[in-house]
Amino acid sequence: MKGFASFLPSHPSLSRRATQSRPDDLDTREEGTVPRDVMRTAALGAALVALVGAPLVGLQGRVQAAGVVSPPVTLPVNDFGDMVLDTANQHVFVSSPSSNEVVVLDYDGNVVKIIGGLSGPDAMVVSGSTVYVTLSTSGSIDRIDTTTLAETGMLTQGTLVSPTQLVLANGALWTGTETGGPSSICLARVDLGTVAVTTFGRSYCYYGLAIRANPADTSMLITWDLGNEPATVVTLDVSSGAPVQLQSRFEQQLQNLQDIAGGPTGNAFVTASGYPYEFDEWRYSDLQQNGIVYPANSYPTAVATTGAQGGLMAGGLDSAYGNAVWVYRYDNPGAQLFVGDYGASIAPRGLVFTPDGQSLFAISLSWVGPGYTVTFTRIDLQLTPPPSVTTEPIRSTEGGTFHGDLGSVTGGTAPYAATIDWGDGSHPSAGAVAANHQGSFTVRGDHQYREEGSYRYVVTIKDATGSVVSAQGTATVGDAPVSVAVDGTAQPILPAAYLAATLTDADVAGAAGDYSGTVSLSLGGVGLFTFNCPSSTCTITADSSGGFSVTLRPSVPLLPGRYTATVVLADIGGASATATGTVTIAA
């Protein structure tokens, strides 16, 4: 088995998985067998001092964005279960199953309160003003008020067996409960209203159930067998109150899968597994990789995402010898924003972003025997605010080329790249972004709309750090003008066929079938004939010059003479033109 397992909390529900890995006090990597506590304790202090406020050099020697790492806080517990945020009161809740405590910190890492006397507190979920926490040794789910930080009574007591996972989806809590025998941890639903517990059968039972939610779809769960290799990942629809399998895939390349985080766009999720030594994105739709890979090192253990700051992804490693925290722009592995070395390992479920994306909280573990040193660290990423783009309405004419301003960009880091989807089915094109006199940047573009109408165009901006933002605008495209000219000679071009007029249209996409109208002939002020076009007696056809010919085909030949011709033509968009002239019919 590759990768992390040695610092899994040692409460009963996880002990059998922990024993499948290397000994807890050894790190059996390629360098040899080294006592884990010796290597990590020696490296921790110097690594943190070197990081505070310093620019960090990442892959291929690129200088990354600076990050300020606050002094680590050693928590008064000896293992780790889960970490969640109460954003309303800016509190961090950290559970410790074997210490029977939940430690409440403020965002600066100060201990606000220790809630003790709990029975193996593990996974947690915040909903409104309540923290729900699984009690793994009593088979219960407790409730903690986020304002008073006091227990408010059990949601359910003794109805579960060793629950270690907890997710809120479709208005209910989802966890696991042991039922005995192999693959015995089965998915269970706890109704928040009736408090009824429903345990689902064999199809939803695992050796070591892990559950995550899709932050963009409250009715979807992601499950896998924690620590097993290779991993089988399953997505479930729980909108009906009962799980229905959407997709299931045996992921051969995911060895010892430890953590999953749903991406902020709702299309994909990110994995942290002992191998490969990277963080991969996977589509929800078919559980296939989407090609986005965030480089890392051995061995990935934790992952977190946020939609703030233009989208961020953080990954943690079981790493005593190298960088343990990696931060990238979400969907952009080329934009590495932070790398940190703590001389300790990041715990599964041990990374959480603040809602604004400016800070990342990390829980690191080092084995000192007979328990772990559990450390809380705040990393202020010092990111430049992501760019913001605004658009303005634009006007153009069909067939003409629009060339002008589309909007403006503020914030972010120059230079910017602009891509414009013009909303008419054409391929997106690159725009130009240049500084203006208002202290922002102007986006300009060129495009030819082939037909009149109203279109929704989208401007997408990517700044130098890889942050991507988009904004929608409206394009109003008017009908191109048409013009007609009476042909003064009207010589017969065929027996009984006379070229009476020519038509031109600024719409380059105009076709002969787009036009209609009339041609009227009079002689000496007396109206003689009116021809409806198009018809059997008047045709409109494309000519070699790019315009159109209006040809009269009367049922009897016209008598020679000088006729006054009035031509009225319009296109399907409503543009029209009228011309009057003399037409000479030669003998």
pLDDT at 383: 82
The pLDDT of residue 46 is above 70: no
The tokens for 223 are 């499950």
The pLDDT of residue 52 is above 70: no
Would you say 56 and 67 are in contact if contact means Cβ atoms under 8 Å apart?
yes
Same fold flag, 12-380 and 388-476:
no
DSSP, collapsed to helix, strand or coil, labels residue 48 as helix
pLDDT at 320: 67
- The string over 391-416, giving b where at least 16 C-beta atoms fall within 10 Å of a residue's C-beta and e elsewhere, is beebebbbbeebeeebbbbebbbeeb
Which residues have a Cβ under 8 Å from the Cβ of 466 and sit 6 or more positions away?
328, 329, 332, 334, 335
pLDDT at 50: 36
| Residue 314 banded pLDDT, cuts 50, 70, 90 | very high
- Greatest Cα pair distance in the chain: 118
Q: Which sign, positive or negative, has the C-alpha torsion 348, 232, 191, 285? A: positive
- Residue owning tokens 């300020």: 68
Q: CA-based angle 156:160:162, to the nearest 5? A: 125
Q: Over the chain, what is the mean pLDDT?
A: 84
Q: Candidates 3.40.50.300, 3.90.1150.10, 2.130.10.10, 1.10.3720.10; correct CATH number of 12-380?
A: 2.130.10.10
The tokens for 205 are 């039972």
pLDDT at 15: 33
DSSP, collapsed to helix, strand or coil, labels residue 225 as strand
| Residue 321 banded pLDDT, cuts 50, 70, 90 | low
DSSP state of 537: T
The burial class, CB within 10 Å (0-12 / 13-18 / 19+), for 3 is buried
Rounded Cα distance, 127 and 212, in Å: 15
pLDDT at 286: 95
CA 539 to chain centre: 55
Q: How do strand 91-96 and strand 394-397 relate by DSSP bridges? A: unpaired
pLDDT at 509: 78
Q: Give 281-298 pLDDT, tens digit per residue.
A: 999 999 999 999 999 998
- The CATH architecture one would assign to domain 482-585 is Sandwich (2.60)
| Residue 519 banded pLDDT, cuts 50, 70, 90 | very high
The pLDDT of residue 254 is above 50: yes
The pLDDT of residue 47 is above 50: no
Mean pLDDT value across residues 35-51: 35
pLDDT at 496: 63
| Residue 309 banded pLDDT, cuts 50, 70, 90 | confident
The pLDDT of residue 334 is above 90: no
The tokens for 395 are 């006007």
Mean pLDDT value across residues 87-114: 97
Q: Candidates 3.10.50.40, 2.30.40.10, 1.10.10.10, 2.60.40.10; correct CATH number of 388-476?
A: 2.60.40.10
The pLDDT of residue 10 is above 50: no
Q: CA-based angle 301:362:137, to the nearest 5? A: 70
Q: Which residue has the higher pLDDT, 398 or 150?
A: 150
pTM for the whole thing?
0.70
- Domain boundaries of the chain, sorted by first residue: 12-380, 388-476, 482-585
pLDDT at 491: 53
Q: How do strand 394-397 and strand 468-478 relate by DSSP bridges? A: parallel
Q: How do strand 300-306 and strand 289-295 relate by DSSP bridges? A: unpaired
Q: Which residue has the higher pLDDT, 54 or 134?
A: 134
CB atoms within 10 A of CB 586: 9
The pLDDT of residue 530 is above 70: yes
Ramachandran bin of 579, using left for φ above 0, alpha for ψ from -120 to 50, beta for the remaining angles:
beta
pLDDT at 526: 86
The pLDDT of residue 495 is above 80: no
| Residue 343 banded pLDDT, cuts 50, 70, 90 | low
Range with lowest mean pLDDT among 190-194, 286-290, 509-513: 509-513
pLDDT at 332: 87
Q: Give 144-177 pLDDT, tens digit per residue.
A: 999 999 999 999 999 999 998 999 999 999 999 9
The pLDDT of residue 385 is above 80: no
Closest C-alpha among 586, 513, 507, 512 to residue 543: 512
- Residue owning tokens 């995911």: 254
Closest C-alpha among 500, 575, 558, 510 to residue 533: 500
Range with lowest mean pLDDT among 83-87, 173-177, 451-455: 451-455
DSSP per-residue string spanning 122-188:
EEEEEETTEEEEEETTTTEEEEEETTT--B---SB-SSSSS----EEETTEEEEEEE-SSTT-EEEE
Mean pLDDT value across residues 377-395: 90
Would you say 231 and 251 are in contact if contact means Cβ atoms under 8 Å apart?
yes
Rounded Cα distance, 294 and 24, in Å: 28
Helix (H) or strand (E) holding 45: helix 36-51
The pLDDT of residue 126 is above 50: yes
| Residue 66 banded pLDDT, cuts 50, 70, 90 | low
Helix (H) or strand (E) holding 521: strand 515-523
| Residue 184 banded pLDDT, cuts 50, 70, 90 | confident
Helix (H) or strand (E) holding 32: strand 32-35
The pLDDT of residue 574 is above 50: yes
Mean pLDDT value across residues 193-200: 95
Residue ranges in 52-100 assigned as alpha helix (H): none
Q: Which residue has the higher pLDDT, 137 or 10?
A: 137
- Residue owning tokens 């050099």: 57
